[in-house]
Amino acid sequence: MRSQLARKPEKTYHHGDLRDALIKAALREAERGGAEAISIKALAKQLGVSQPAPYRHFADRDALLAAVTAEAFRQLSATFRAAMAKPSEQSKLSRLAQAMLDFGLRRNGIYRLMFASRTVSCAAKGSELHEATRETFALVIEALEVPAVGYLRERQALKIWAALHGVVMLAEQGLFTGEAAHATREDLVQDFVSETKAALAVAIKDARRKKNGA
C-alpha cells in the first residue's frame, strides 16, 4: 500500500499566543503604512490561521487597532524611560523630547497609528488603551522634575507634548526643515524644553507667593 505524504499541519497557537502574534504582526504592518495597512483578513493569512480565528480575541478591527495602539504607547513609554534613565548632562525633559522626535520620525507609521487616527479618541475610560496613554503622559509630567503645584505640571506637560507632536507632523510632511528659522528640528525641540522649564518655574513661584499671601 502506497504511503501517503503527511499533510503539513496548519500553524497552531496556544491560548493567548495568537492574540500576541496578531498584535506583533499588525505593528509590523503599521510600521509600513499606519492604521490603514492593518487588515484582519490579511493578518490571518500571514499567520497561517483561519479567517475566523482572530475574532476569538478581537471582536472587530477596531478592537485590534485599540490593542495594537496600546502596545505602541507602551513601547513609546519604554523609550521615554530609557532616555530618562540614561546618564546625561541634559535634563530629563530634554532627553524625553528628543526621544519623542526620534520615535515619531523613525517609526512614523506607528506614530500615525497613535496620534493621527480616531482610535485613541474612541477608547473607553479605564480601557487598556486609555491606561497606556495615561502612562505615557505621566512620564512627560515626571520629566519636568518639579513638585506638584495644582495642575501646573500637567498644563505644561500638555503644552510641550502638543509642541513636539507639531514638529513631528510638520517634519514628516516635509513642511518643516528648519531652514526658514536657521535651526534644526533638534534645536527647535530644545527651545521648547527651555521655554517649558522657564515658564513652569515662574508659574510655580507665582503660585507659591499667592498661597503665602506675599
Helix 92-106 with 152-172: angle, nearest 10 deg: 30
- Give me the pLDDT at residue 8, please: 38
- Give me the pLDDT at residue 116, please: 84
First to last CA, the chain: 101
Query: Could you give the count of Cα atoms lying within 13 Å of 57 in the half-sphere of its Cβ?
Result: 22
149: left (phi over 0), alpha (psi -120 to 50) or beta: beta
In whole angstroms, what is the distance from residue 192 CA to residue 157 CA?
11
Q: What share of the chain is helix, strand, coil (3-state, %, to 5)?
A: 65, 0, 35
- Give me the pLDDT at residue 175, please: 80
User: Residue holding cell 478581537?
Assistant: 58
Segment-wise mean pLDDT, segments of 10 residues, the chain, 214 residues: 43 74 96 92 94 95 97 98 95 97 95 91 94 97 95 96 94 76 86 95 92 75
- Give me the pLDDT at residue 177, please: 66
- Give me the pLDDT at residue 14, please: 58
174: left (phi over 0), alpha (psi -120 to 50) or beta: left
- Give me the pLDDT at residue 183, please: 83
- Give me the pLDDT at residue 100, please: 97
User: Phi and psi at residue 207, in whole multiples of 5°?
Assistant: -65, -40
Structure-derived torsion over alpha carbons of residues 26, 29, 34, 35, reported in degrees to the nearest 10: -40
Q: What is the DSSP letter of 184?
A: -
